[in-house]
């Protein structure tokens, strides 16, 4: 079993808090009871910088905590799973890039992660919230959130990777 350093735990805690705050800063209610937010950018950034495992922990816990604090606790269990899966997938795909075309891999990872989010919330809304095909109404809003999250998360990541200290700290690509 690989031992982790204290700084890894500190970074994960920081990204958990950043995810919560980014999710709560901008909230636009959606017709089905959820809300659009800016948290996906930090979900992806967590995955890219912390890697798939710690990124998934930070993204899932931070996003679920935001749901609870914002009064959308019914979404928290689904959010925990969906956002963790997003980060796990995005982080794992970017890790495969090594030094080859990090921008291409980051874009692909972001888009795949956002597809997971769209499909995940559709399934949750259709089955758990029992809206059935009415859950289709949530897809356009989730697409807007996904596009913003993918663009912002990838852009912030690529900008941070231009800073030698950041690149050395996270040793991502």
pLDDT in tens, 32-48: 666 678 899 999 999 99
The encoded tokens of residue 62 equal 């931070």
Write down all domains in the chain, each with its CATH number in brackets: 6-170 (1.10.1760.20)
In angstroms, the CA 72 to CA 89 distance is 25
Q: Is this prediction's pTM over 0.85?
A: yes
Task: Provide the 8-state DSSP code for 33.
Answer: S
Render pLDDT for 98-150 as a digit per residue (tens, 0 to 9): 767 888 999 999 999 999 999 999 999 999 888 889 888 888 888 888 998 99
| Sign of the CA dihedral with 147 first, then 148, 154, and 155 last | positive
Cβ(35)–Cβ(25) under 8 Å?
no
| CB-based contacts of 52, cutoff 8 Å, min separation 6 | 87, 88, 89, 90, 91, 92, 95
């Amino acid at each position: 079993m690989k031992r982790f350093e204290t700084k890894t735990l500190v970074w994960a805690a920081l990204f958990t808090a950043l995810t919560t705050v980014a999710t709560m800063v901008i909230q636009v209610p959606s017709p089905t009871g959820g809300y659009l937010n800016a948290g996906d950018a930090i979900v992806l950034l967590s995955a890219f910088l912390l890697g798939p495992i710690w990124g998934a922990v930070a993204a899932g816990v931070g996003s679920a905590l935001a749901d609870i604090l914002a009064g959308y606790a019914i979404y928290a269990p689904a959010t925990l799973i969906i956002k963790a899966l997003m980060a796990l997938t995005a982080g794992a795909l970017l890790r495969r890039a090594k030094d080859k075309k990090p921008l291409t891999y980051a874009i692909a990872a972001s888009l795949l992660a956002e597809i997971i989010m769209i499909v995940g919330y559709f399934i949750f809304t259709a089955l758990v919230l029992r809206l059935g095909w009415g859950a289709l109404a949530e897809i356009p809003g989730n697409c807007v959130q996904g596009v913003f999250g993918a663009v912002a998360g990838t852009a912030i990541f690529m900008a941070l990777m231009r800073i030698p200290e950041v690149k050395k700290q996270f040793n991502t690509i």
